[in-house]
Amino acid sequence: MTEKEKAAQGLLYDANYDEHLKKERLECIEKCFDYNHIRPSNKEERRALLHSLLGHVGEHVTIEQPFHCDYGYNIEIGDNFFMNYNGVILDCAKVTFGDNVFVAPNCGFYCAGHPLDVEQRNQGLEYAYPITIGNNVWIGANVAVLAGVTIGDDTVIGAGSVVNKDIPSGVIAAGNPCKVIRKITEEDKKKYWK
């Protein structure tokens, strides 16, 4: 079994020294460098590069620069997606964003985790668990979403949160660790219409 196959199955794998994975990461880093140096007004070139970098790109997708990811091909983005400045996706496992997702500046999605055992960690071993973000999700600034997390549809994650467990649909959640604060209600529809 290759190291890439081990990663896809959520097993410990050699992320640091496997030549195939190092080559794939370098190719991705080069594409990210190119993307981050395209003039912001050149939307067609930006879109074309995103299509060559990511596994799936829906309609009306904006990823502000700078943006960084590990492999690119593990990232799937739905329609009407916006990621603000300094987005990071460590996509050693699948990262899926639904439709109508808004991501504020300085957010990270981290599929990688490392063993607590120092000997395994020093061998360059890690694990990779997928991240799934539902439809109609808003993620506030400086949020970290960790390996294996699913965030349900119609949910808001407050700024500065560390999301290390699944968050259900239709709630506001925040904190470190991120926890559900309350459900989103009909009253929330009226809040900003003054």
pLDDT at 96: 98
Nearest of 153, 142, 134 to residue 175 by alpha carbon: 142
Task: Using the predicted structure, report yes or no on whether residue 194 has a pLDDT greater than 70.
Answer: no
| Residue 45 exposure: Cα atoms within 13 Å on the Cβ side | 11
Alpha helices in 13-132 (DSSP H): 19-36, 43-53, 118-122
Task: Using the predicted structure, report yes or no on whether residue 189 has a pLDDT greater than 90.
Answer: no
- Span 102-159, pLDDT tens digits: 999 999 999 999 999 999 999 989 999 999 999 999 999 999 999 999 999 999 999 9
- Span 37-55, pLDDT tens digits: 999 999 999 999 999 999 9
Position 188 confidence tier, pLDDT thresholds 50, 70, 90: confident
Catalytic residue numbers, as ranges? 114
CA distance 132 to 134: 6
Residue 31: what residue type? K
Burial class (CB in 10 A: 0-12, 13-18, 19+), 81: buried
Task: Using the predicted structure, report yes or no on whether residue 164 has a pLDDT greater than 90.
Answer: yes
CA distance 96 to 57: 10
| CA angle, residues 137, 142, 146, in degrees to nearest 5 | 70
CATH number at residue 40: 2.160.10.10
Task: Using the predicted structure, report yes or no on whether residue 71 has a pLDDT greater than 80.
Answer: yes
3-class DSSP state of 165? coil
How distant, in Å, are the alpha carbons of 96, 126, 128, 139, 164 from that of 102? Answer: 13, 29, 24, 6, 19
Residue range(s) defining the domain that contains residue 101: 3-190
Counted domains in the chain: 1
Nearest of 79, 88, 82 to residue 111 by alpha carbon: 88
- Span 2-37, pLDDT tens digits: 999 999 999 999 988 999 999 999 999 999 999 999
